[in-house]
Structure 1
Amino acid sequence: MRINILSLLICPLLLPCTSLRPTPNCIAPIGPFASIRSPNCAFGGDLDKRMTDATDEISGNNNFVLELQRLTLDFQQSNQPPPPEKVLTIVKKMESSHNDYLDLLTHLRLSSDYQSLEYYSLTVTHLKSKGLTLEDMNSCVSWQIESMKAYSESRIPPQPSKKVMSLIQSQQNPPMLSVPSITSPPFTLNEPILQDPVIKKTLEDLIKDHEQLINFGANYGSFDPLGKLAYITEIEKIEDRWFTFLGRLELMNVVSPKFKEETGMFLEGMGLEVGGFYELMDTGKEWMRDRAEENR
């Protein structure tokens, strides 16, 4: 069933948000850092498992990236070609990880859930900011895999395309936007300042409204175009409320150091700072707006 915009009761709010809204100097629990998850993105669910599978061999215990770095370092120091069997072992892990990542992207792209589609939009727009597309990323990684496989099997490697060659020459690796596993909440709720009745009520209302909106967005794919535009505006309003709340408490050092550490490590891995992340979030929403406008 298609959901009409009237069901959102926010008809006057259809214009894109162009306000210069203030943002905190730390990450807010929004987007991929939200502790509030839709049913489709629930911790321990199918999508969460897909995300873990897609990133485990890149940053998990079975990290082929470190193995590849060690192999490269050994080659540089000894000037001896790496053993083909070691290269083949790494290739198999790369291939498995790449297939898992492509499976994840397909699942996100075809989802009706807003939060899932938001992850996909961030991947697309992050690549676009580097002058790349998902096709570029896939071509580059596929060429790397096939070239290493050819080496391990004593074959001539495939000829790279012009785009892949330009990436090789610039030594630019296509970024893969993984979904962070943030285990620490931004607040323990035991902070003295959060015991203030007014502040506590503000936070409780914000969490409740955010949760209701995320759950409502599980059917985002069935919204009509105007409903999608209105829903994105509501997401921005929730973000603004988080920004205001965090902005008031930030100077009091209330945000959990562990939450800051985990979000900071993820941003560092993506080559982003806090401001860059918020810009990426805004760009991702504009990408989703454009997709909705195409169907009007």
Structure 2
Amino acid sequence: MAALSRRLWPLRLVLAAALSLFGLNAAWSGTARRRVISVGRRAADSIASCGLMLPIGPLCPFRSEFWSSEAFSKVAEMDARRPRAMELMTKMQRGMISPEEQLELSKAMCESNDFWLANQLRLRYAEDFQGIEAFKITEERITARGVTIDMMEALVRWNSEWMSAMAEKRPPPPPPPGMDITKMQQIGNVDTELPMAEMAIPFPFLDGSKALKSDLVQEELSALTRDHENLIRFGNKYGSFDPLGKEAFLDQVALIQERWQVFMTRFELMGELNPEFVAASNRYFMRGKMSAQEFNSLVHSAQERMRADAQAERMS
């Protein structure tokens, strides 16, 4: 019994903190706990089919401390280099690239690939909820094309070596063992950028919006904002939660997302969404070649991967 108690105390700590966070009674019953989990699962499923722009996943305006790392400070710089790299890539495909430009493209591609690989490593082993979620989003996008993330990472490394060899007039290296390059080319280009959109996402609503004239609406939005920020902060140690604690956290995330769905519906109908938030969202959708509904489904699938990992951990 003592051993069981020691094993369960992290879950109690997580749930107690979460309950305190959302103003619930820490002495809730097992029936109430199951009811909250059931509601959380229904909320998660409803997000997958939602066609609204939602401030969730990469479009969440609240960032955890994980993203303040200097390692992510080059995101804007890498984005700024993208147009030039695309220009050179087009010239190479048309056979119109000069040797100097080929060297420039090779260097740019190698830097971009190395940046992506380094960040993938940070995301893969992150403790932070948003970091893990970002990794799972990348994993979901890649596996949807019939490729594992390990295969994609190997391909990115090989691509850097191939570009360098071509630029330096050396024989290109052989592809990674067991990799069908023709198949990879048929799958098409999978976006290998950091899946966090812009590092500063505008808030969805503007101060002074006519949709916020009601004191009740202001109070509801203030509570939602506070709860979401606190949850992101609390998720900084998500990786250290025990399996049931992780599932409980994901249920709370789903409930927060459902509350946003209500607000975004109201504000969109009134034409009161922040234009800067809409623009940032559309840039992300265009880059990922997806709709708002596909984005929400992607975030849902990534979080379901996290839930499956927690369940597998619990069963092991």
TM over 0.5: yes
2:111 equivalent to 1:101: no
2:188 equivalent to 1:172: yes
CA contact (8 A) 2:88 2:101 kept: no
2:41 equivalent to 1:17: yes
How do 1:219-238 residues align onto structure 2 when only pairs under 5 Å count?
Answer: 219-238=237-256
Residue 164 of structure 1 aligns with an amino acid whose one-letter code is I
Bigger Cα displacement from structure 2, 17-26 vs 96-105:
17-26
Bigger Cα displacement from structure 2, 244-253 vs 279-288:
244-253
In structure 2, list runs of 5 or more residues that go unmatched. 1-5, 20-27
- Measured after TM superposition, the shift of residue 128 of structure 1 is 1.3
Residue 72 of structure 1 aligns with an amino acid whose one-letter code is M
Change (3 A) 1:257 1:294: same
% same residue: 27
CA contact (8 A) 1:24 1:247 kept: no
Residue 141 of structure 1 aligns with an amino acid whose one-letter code is V
| Equivalent position to 1:65, from 76, 82, 85 | 85
Change (3 A) 1:258 1:205: same
Q: Which runs of 4+ in 1 moved over 6 A?
A: none
| Equivalent position to 1:129, from 107, 127, 144 | 144
The Cα offsets for residues 56-107 of structure 1, whole Å up to 9 and x where unpaired, read as 33x31465522423432652xx5xxx43332122212211221111111111
Paired position in structure 1 for 2:72: 51
Tell me, in whole angstroms, the C-alpha distance in 2 between the residues paired with 1:167 and 1:55.
Answer: 28
The root-mean-square deviation of aligned C-alpha atoms, in Å, is 2.4
| Equivalent position to 1:83, from 95, 98, 106 | 98
CA contact (8 A) 1:136 1:164 kept: no
Partner SS, residue 3 of structure 1: helix
Paired position in structure 2 for 1:158: 173
Paired position in structure 1 for 2:266: 248
- Measured after TM superposition, the shift of residue 55 of structure 1 is 6.3
CA contact (8 A) 2:41 2:251 kept: yes
CA contact (8 A) 2:210 2:272 kept: no
The Cα offsets for residues 21-46 of structure 1, whole Å up to 9 and x where unpaired, read as 266543111111111122223xxx21
| Equivalent position to 2:206, from 188, 208, 212 | 188
Change (3 A) 1:31 1:289: same
Residue 157 of structure 1 aligns with an amino acid whose one-letter code is P
Tell me, in whole angstroms, the C-alpha distance in 1 between the residues paired with 2:144 and 2:169.
Answer: 37
Change (3 A) 1:61 1:155: closer
- Measured after TM superposition, the shift of residue 157 of structure 1 is 1.5
Tell me, in whole angstroms, the C-alpha distance in 2 between the residues paired with 1:52 and 1:163.
Answer: 35
Change (3 A) 1:243 1:171: closer
Aligned residues: 284
Bigger Cα displacement from structure 2, 103-112 vs 21-30:
21-30
In structure 1, list runs of 5 or more residues that go unmatched. none
The Cα offsets for residues 250-286 of structure 1, whole Å up to 9 and x where unpaired, read as 2101111221121111111111111111111111011
